[in-house]
Amino acid sequence: MSVARITEITSSSTRSFEDAITSGISRATKTLRQVQGAWIKEMKVVVNDDKVTEYRVDMKVTFVLE
């Protein structure tokens, strides 16, 4: 029997939502073992001078407890 846990993280990128997701998962796997997946809860952008300058994602990362 497996028991999973969910942790919520926020990640950002100046390039794209995909890059924000990839960097968030990459960082999460440095401290969490057996990451199984993530649910993207919210996507936001930061706008400065009428231009998108930052992409942010809030995600829930699921990992299996040992």
The rounded Cα 26 to chain-centroid distance in angstroms is 9
**Distance, CA of 37 to CA of 58 (rounded, Å):** 14
Q: For a pLDDT cut of 90, what percent of the chain falls above it?
A: 95
The pLDDT of residue 15 is 98
pTM: 0.88
Is there a contact between 47 and 14 (Cβ–Cβ < 8 Å)? no
| pLDDT confidence band for 4 (50 / 70 / 90) | very high
The yes or no reply on domain 4-64 and CATH 3.30.1660.10 is yes
Structure tokens at 13: 């990128």
**Distance, CA of 28 to CA of 22 (rounded, Å):** 10
